[in-house]
Structure 1
Amino acid sequence: MSIGELACSYATLILADQGIPVTAEKITTILKAANVECESYWPSLFEKLAEKKNIEDLIEEPKEESDEEDFGMGLFD
């Protein structure tokens, strides 16, 4: 994976996390702000990916354990 491809991946995740539509222009803006250069086709490829797939569906967050699940019983109770 090239640096440009990886940077576009992160830019796509940033945009999706903020609820901002993923566009090649916005990906390029993030890359410029981070001073990262990449091949000109990567941002448009990631934009097309985001049009076809919901980026948030591709990210699985681990389920957090709840204190309520142990029913008040500890290991040494």
Structure 2
Amino acid sequence: MASAELAATYAALILADDGIEITADKIVTLTNGANVELEPIWATLLAKALEGKNVKELLSNVGSGGGAPAAGSAAPAAGGAAAAAEAPKEEAKEEEKEESDDDMGFGLFD
């Protein structure tokens, strides 16, 4: 990542840490203060990407993979249980088809 991109990211983090609204003008001001030349379009794109988002919350949830559905909320109906039981069988058939391609008499390194 280029130093200008990093500087813009750091500027956004500084603004979020201080509780200041992240705008393109403020990002450019911070990067200019650090003697990094940043094209205003990149600051605008970053500000729009972070608009309405809680950056501190995003950072604290890195690697969590998002919220999982509640265990009881997606309970299948009586008819849904039968359909759910058939789904793994269909997947097994598809895998067998893929494996049968190996029996064609040639491989990747032949």
TM > 0.5 fold call: yes
Give CA deviations for 1:24-73 in whole Å, capped at 9, x if unaligned: 00001101110001233111011101214221112128xxxxxxxxxxxx
In the alignment, what sits opposite 1:58? 58
- Structure 1 runs (4+) deviating above 6 angstroms are none
In the alignment, what sits opposite 1:11? 11
| Identical residues among aligned pairs (%) | 49
Asked if the contact 2:24/2:40 (under 8 Å) is kept, the reply is no
The letter for the 2-side match of 1:58 is L
Q: Which has the higher contact order (CA 8 A, sep 6+)?
A: 1
2:9 is equivalent to residue 38 of structure 1: no
The letter for the 2-side match of 1:14 is I
Cα distance in 2 for residues equivalent to 1:35 and 1:45: 20
Asked if the contact 1:3/1:38 (under 8 Å) is kept, the reply is no
TM-score by structure 2 length? 0.51
Cα distance in 2 for residues equivalent to 1:16 and 1:46: 13
> How much has 1:3 moved relative to structure 2?
1.1
Task: Give the CA RMSD over aligned residues.
Answer: 1.5
Query: Which runs of 5 or more residues in structure 1 are unaligned?
Result: 62-77
Q: Secondary structure at the match of 2:51?
A: helix
- Equivalences for 1:20-39 in 2 at 5 Å? 20-39=20-39
The letter for the 1-side match of 2:44 is S
User: Which stretch shows the higher mean deviation, 8-17 or 44-53?
Assistant: 44-53
The structure that has the greater radius of gyration is: 2
Q: Secondary structure at the match of 1:12?
A: helix
